[in-house]
Each structure stands twice: as C-alpha cells, then as structure tokens.
Amino acid sequence: MAFDIDLIKKVYAEFEGKVNEARKLVNKPLTFTEKILYAHLTAPARRAYQRGADYVDFAPDRVAMQDATAQMALLQFMQAGRDKVAVPSTVHCDHLIMAQTGAAQDLAIAKKDSSEVFDFLASVSNKYGIGFWKPGAGIIHQVVLENYAFPGGMMIGTDSHTVNAGGLGMIAIGVGGADACDVMSGLPWELKMPKLIGVKLTGKLNGWAAPKDVILKVAGILTVKGGTGCIVEYFGEGAQALSCTGKGTICNMGAEIGATTSTFAYDDSMSRYLRATGREDVAAAADAVKTQLTADPEVYANPEQYFDQVIEIDLNELEPHLNGPFTPDLATPISKMKEAAAANEWPTKVEVGLIGSCTNSSYEDISRAVSLAKQVNEKGLKTKAEFTITPGSEQVRYTIERDGFLDTFASIGATVFANACGPCIGMWNRVGADKQEKNTIVHSFNRNFAKRADGNPNTYAFVASPELVTALAIAGDLTFNPITDTLVNEKGETVKLDPPSGEELPAKGFSVDDPGYQAPAADGSGIEVKVAPDSKRLQLLDPFPEWEGTDLKGLKLLIKAKGKCTTDHISMAGPWLKFRGHLDNISNNLLIGAVNYFNDKTDNVKNQLTGEYGPVPATQRAYKAAGIGTLIVGDENYGEGSSREHAAMEPRHLGARAVLVKSFARIHETNLKKQGMLALTFADKDDYDKIREDDTIDIIGLTAFAPDTPLSLVLHHKDGTSETITVNHSYNAQQIEWFKAGAALNIIRREFAN
C-alpha cells in the first residue's frame, strides 16, 4: 500500500524554488493554494496566470479511482496504449456493496454479485501497476486520507469527493475518468486557473458544534453554486484548532458548494494524523518544509487583498446545523428547526439516523457519537429511530471495535454496515422504501438529493454532524434541540443529554488486521484482462466517431430539462451502478430523472418522429436509429453533483450532439468536452424560454469553431417560424481539437500509436 516517500520528498525538494519563481511572476505574496498549483505546473510558468480565465497544464502526483467510475476510466486507459500508469494510482472497491443486513452478509453478497467487475478491476490494476483496495477495505476518500494524502501535494480522483484530501493540505480534485486516463498516461492535466475564496475561522468549536457545522454553514452562505470555479482555503486560529479529519470533513463537502476543491495549510493536527497513521517519515518531511506549506504571512493578515472573496465564521458562535431536505445548501440552525419544519411541513419523526461514510467516519467522529450512545443506557433512554453506522475504512472499523465502540452501538440496537458507500449512494435495500411514504431520515453523509439514499422521492434527508444525527436518532424527532431540550426516559423521568465528547486520535493507536490492499505485479505484461463479449456488466469501448466537418443541422430537441438536473438526474446511481462498466446498458438510464419542462414529468418526452411520448432513452435511441442528432437543453448548474462521466458518455453514445444550458457544473462541462460533445451556454439566459418542444435546431459556426467566439443556434419552430440565438462556449484550442477528433481519447490513442 506503500505511499511513495521518495515522490513526496521530491515534491518538497522542488517546492520552494518553484514557489519563489511563481512569486516573482505573480509579484505579490501567495496563498497556500497558489503555491501548490504553481509547484505542480507541467512546465515552469512564464507569466502569472489569470484566475478564472487561463487554462493551465498541471502534473498531479497521484490518481485515485473508485470502483463505479474506475471501470470506465480503466476501459479508456486500456485504449491509450500504455504498459503501466505514469503516476501512482489506486482503485478502491466501495460503491458496489448493497447495505441491507449487516457488514459480513452484505459484503459476501456483493463479492458474489459483482465478482465479474471486481475481478476485472483487480486484473487491470495488476497489469498496469495500480494499487487495488478490495471490497470491504474502505471508502476511497477515507483510505486516501489514511494512506496517501500529503500536505502540499496534488491529486485527482474519479469521484467528486476526492476533495476530502484537502484535510491533509492537498489540492485534491474530482475529475472524470477521461482526465484520470490522461494523467495515468503521463499527459498534462488541464484546469482553468481557479479563483480563490478565503474562509477565516476565528474562535474554537465547543459543545455540540462540530467541523461538519462549519461546512453546513458555508453551504448555506455560498449555496450549491457559490464555489464554482473556485478553490476554498480555510485559515485562522479556528482552522488550526480543528483536527485533521475534521478538516477533511469540511473539504469533503466543498463538493456541495461546487468548489473545485478546498484546503488548509499544514499544521500540527496534520502532523499528528500522519504520525498516527504510520507515516512518521511524511510528517518529518513536511515538518522540515512547514514554512513553505502555508500562505505567505501577508495573505492571512490581509485576506481581502489576496482572495477573490472572503468569508469569516466565528466558531465560538457556531450552532449545529441541519441541511436539507433535497439539497445540501438549505441550512437550518438547530434552534430554528421547529419553526422551519412546521412552516415547510417536513415530517418531524426521524425514522433512521445514519452515521459514517467518507464524510464523517473518523475516530473522532465515532468517539463523539459513541459518547451519546453511552448515555442511552446510562440515562435509561431508548433509541427511537433506527440507527446505522458505515465505517470509512477497515482500519477505523477494526480500531473502533477494539475500543468497544461497536459494542456500545450494538447495545442501542445499531446496525453496522460494510466499510463502503452503502446508503450514501443509494446502495441501501431499505425495507419499505418502495411504498414511497413521506418520511424523514438524518445522516452524516454529504448529499441529500431526492431518492439518493433509498430511491424514495418522499424521503426527506437532512445532513448533520454524526453527533447531532445520533442525538436526533435517540430522540426520534427532527426538531429536538439537544442544547436546550430534554427527553423523557423509560421510567418517565426527564433527562438531558450531555454534550458529546471524544478523542481526536485513538490513545492506543490505530490497529488493523487485514487492511484489504493488493499490490500490483512488478511486471504486468503477461497478465491478460478478459471481458466476456456477452457480459451485462462490462463492455469494451469503441472510439466515438470524428466530427463530420460541417455545422450540425436538423437536430431534434430531446428534452428541455426544468430546474435542478444533477448527474443523478442524468445518469442515476443506485440500481444502475451495476452497469457502470457497460456503456450501452447504462445508457438506458439517460436523463430518466430530469423533469421535462413541457409536461413536468420525468422520463417522458415527445418523439418528434411519431408525436408520441415515451421514456428519454428509448426516444433518443429512436432518433439514433433514424440517423438524427439531438440537443439537450438544461437550466442552471446543469450536471451538478458527481464526477461520473457516464452522464457525458451516455448522450454521446446514443447520438446526442450538444447540451445547451444556462450554466454548467465544472466537472460535467469538462466531461462533455472530453467525450466530444458540444457544451454550450445561452448568451442570454432568457433564450431558454424560446426553446419549444417541436423545435428542429441547427448549430452554426462550427466550421470556424474558435476560442472566445460564440456560435449561433437556429430554432426552426413547428409553425414555420424560426429564430436565431447566440450561444457561448468555453472551449480552448486544445478542447476544440477534442471535439473535432470525436473525443480527447482519440487524440491520446493517435499520439501513442505514432
């Protein structure tokens, strides 16, 4: 599982020199974020890059992939013509394990049901020099934090919560599999130089407030779009007082504000965590350059001069929050929940409390939750709601079992699920969810879009810290404020919960018997990767066709999506996860969660060839069979959510040519470009209203497709009239080549073939 200390030492040896050069170019003190970015350019900078404008080539230190996205990433990498990955890379089997009965049984079933996929991932990893974390080893981001993240480093991962590693002072960014394929092939990784948001944390958390409440508060301030195109850097005395894993939680949910990533400067909490997780040599190496692993002193003294936006939060005053339902930025302080629930008619009976996941399963999190679980017995209470725990890694699970925490949870009737994503990604076989009853759950995960946890659109999911989730599960009441409210115990006595307490790190150190890691073969050239031609789960990829060299004319409108359209709406997870390695099969979920603007229904659009309404995938297949391209229209922040490139590959595979929206989420826009789709935005957002259900559309200007040059769309309405609207794009010269070649991968393949 070996992290590469030599690589880390090399990064540190070059760090100061690169930062000094960058400082001369930028001509002012640098934030920590800028230092990491400039230290990871593929070639020395010749000028200062303009934030929010310039595309820059980076050389990340690592790549991480989870099993659902790794399938497509590795299927693409297999086409790239390389013998071995160019940078240290790992695969983590965490998304394909259904939570149902409990860890042991659920894991055994998953290993059987998904053996074909796990075997494929293991053999590709073995062949190409990729570290493989077996099912049950843990959730990608927790395992990365425990084993690979290092201060000042840069990594990419095929999962939007890769950003979790910012808790250890990294720039860690979620990307699509095609980006991972580029970096594993030794090619530069391109990103628009992000803008910077500084969050100054003053004071110190106390009582019921937890690191999770910092990001829940920030999400309420910035909303799901507020961090788009930005890196968030946290600083201040409050930041230094947080544990390393608490910082990880805050960075993790930076994905929920659309931020490119978030990070913290190196401090003692990170040093302590590195040492506790067996990486004394990394801690020593970081300590030796610690003056480099933070912003220049002027920056935190006068943040307004150096960040594009600054937010200040006083941790002394921070209240526990509950964010939701249905969106992670609807932030309600616990003291306001009674009135908010009444005003919005949210169901207040808590049916299930779920703690853990990659966001909140540190030793500290679990120890604080257990301090409340202990009070159930001590105070004669009975837990009112169901309660579940999904540990983030086998190392955490083993350690909390050793320290008696799991026994305490068992004593209040808790179920421990496998060390995997489970309910967080809809892999939860929740009894009764199919009845679609209105109900409330609270969890310490990060996302709470409709249907995400259990597939029930009427499940109201609220996100909170693990300690608050535990308290609400004990009370069984969403409006219970543990700071002020009391409970009645089994004897009829009035009791009050004491505030949570815990330990940042285990006093006896972490322990683990089998961490679940499998190292790759030193020479994988003789290893054969097999994919059965009739497999339902895996399908080798065929290259997408090149652009035909003309404007795109005669496109039909496939769907005009209304309101929120996340990657869950475009390519649903849950039961569809099993097809993530089979492009044709998973394409049968294309946009089935998107709401059709014209009839307010999901998965019901007009087929202009027949005039009939039907499912989106079937309609799109009908257009494809007729040789007709299509246009998808969307609203604001289209493609928000995960990094899954299936949301871009499916429309491409089924013959859609362009996606036109009011605005894009960053990763999805890049994914569309990589797969040879046209990603366009309305120059005038009001033009969204001009798109009609029966429109036939021409995209004009492609023969002169150039950066910063808008294109035109001609809308031919059914009544014989037509209108022309202007659409923008953010393609640079290289991305235009991807479009022309049919996909970025087609260019890589060509380069390695020559």
- Interface with ligand SF4 by CB under 6 A: which residues? 94, 139-141, 159, 161, 357-358, 421, 424-425, 445-446
Amino acid at 310: V
Q: CA-CA distance, 556 to 549, in Å (whole number)?
A: 19
- Among candidate residues 61, 106, 159, 695, the one labeled active-site is 159
Handedness of CA 9, 13, 19, 22 (dihedral sign): negative
Q: Go through the chain and tell me how many residues it has.
A: 754
Q: Which two tokens stand for residue 693?
A: 């259900």
DSSP 8-state secondary structure symbol assigned to residue 132: E
Q: How far is the CB of 554 from ligand SF4 (least distance, A)?
A: 40
Q: How far is the CB of 278 from ligand SF4 (least distance, A)?
A: 23
- Among candidate residues 62, 92, 95, 646, the one labeled active-site is 95
Q: CA-CA distance, 9 to 707, in Å (whole number)?
A: 39
Count other C-beta atoms under 10 Å from residue 183's C-beta. 24
397 is catalytic: no
Q: CA-CA distance, 658 to 726, in Å (whole number)?
A: 14
Q: Could you tell me if 650 and 558 are in contact, meaning their C-beta atoms sit under 8 angstroms apart?
A: no
**Which CB, 94 or 146, lies closer to ligand SF4?**
94
Q: How far is the CB of 427 from ligand SF4 (least distance, A)?
A: 8
Q: How far is the CB of 86 from ligand SF4 (least distance, A)?
A: 25
Q: Could you tell me if 734 and 744 are in contact, meaning their C-beta atoms sit under 8 angstroms apart?
A: no
- Among candidate residues 141, 161, 368, 447, the one labeled active-site is 447
**Which CB, 219 or 337, lies closer to ligand SF4?**
219
DSSP codes, 588-655:
GGBTTTSBBTTTS-BS-EE-TTT--EE-HHHHHHHHHHTT--EEEEE-TTBT-S---THHHHHHHHTT
Peptide bond connecting 325 to the previous residue in cis, omega within 30 degrees of 0 = yes
Q: How far is the CB of 163 from ligand SF4 (least distance, A)?
A: 10
**Which CB, 133 or 300, lies closer to ligand SF4?**
133
**Which CB, 150 or 445, lies closer to ligand SF4?**
445
465 is catalytic: no
Q: How far is the CB of 161 from ligand SF4 (least distance, A)?
A: 5
Residues near 599 by beta carbon (within 8 Å), at least 6 away in sequence: 613
Q: How far is the CB of 422 from ligand SF4 (least distance, A)?
A: 8
- Among candidate residues 94, 267, 403, 687, the one labeled active-site is 94
Q: CA-CA distance, 748 to 231, in Å (whole number)?
A: 29
Q: How far is the CB of 421 from ligand SF4 (least distance, A)?
A: 3
**Which CB, 141 or 653, lies closer to ligand SF4?**
141
Q: How far is the CB of 671 from ligand SF4 (least distance, A)?
A: 17
DSSP codes, 335-389:
GGHHHHHHHHT---BEEEEEEETTTB-SHHHHHHHHHHHHHHHHTT----SEEEE
Q: What phi and psi values does residue 586 have, to the nearest 5 degrees?
A: -70, -20
Residues near 182 by beta carbon (within 8 Å), at least 6 away in sequence: 188, 189, 744, 748
**Which CB, 170 or 558, lies closer to ligand SF4?**
170
750 is catalytic: no
**Which CB, 396 or 425, lies closer to ligand SF4?**
425
642 is catalytic: yes
Q: CA-CA distance, 66 to 158, in Å (whole number)?
A: 7
**Which CB, 140 or 270, lies closer to ligand SF4?**
140
CA distances to 88, 494, 737 from 487, in Å: 52, 6, 64
Is residue 136 classed as helix, strand or coil in its secondary structure?
coil
- Among candidate residues 642, 646, 695, 729, the one labeled active-site is 642
159 is catalytic: yes
**Which CB, 139 or 497, lies closer to ligand SF4?**
139
Beta bridge partners of 309: 197
**Which CB, 357 or 456, lies closer to ligand SF4?**
357
Q: Could you tell me if 94 and 66 are in contact, meaning their C-beta atoms sit under 8 angstroms apart?
A: yes
Q: What phi and psi values does residue 25 have, to the nearest 5 degrees?
A: -70, -45
Q: Could you tell me if 185 and 178 are in contact, meaning their C-beta atoms sit under 8 angstroms apart?
A: no
Q: Which two tokens stand for residue 105?
A: 């049984």
Amino acid at 323: N
- Among candidate residues 62, 141, 644, 668, the one labeled active-site is 644
Q: How far is the CB of 143 from ligand SF4 (least distance, A)?
A: 10
644 is catalytic: yes
Give me the active site residues, please: 94-95, 159, 447, 642, 644
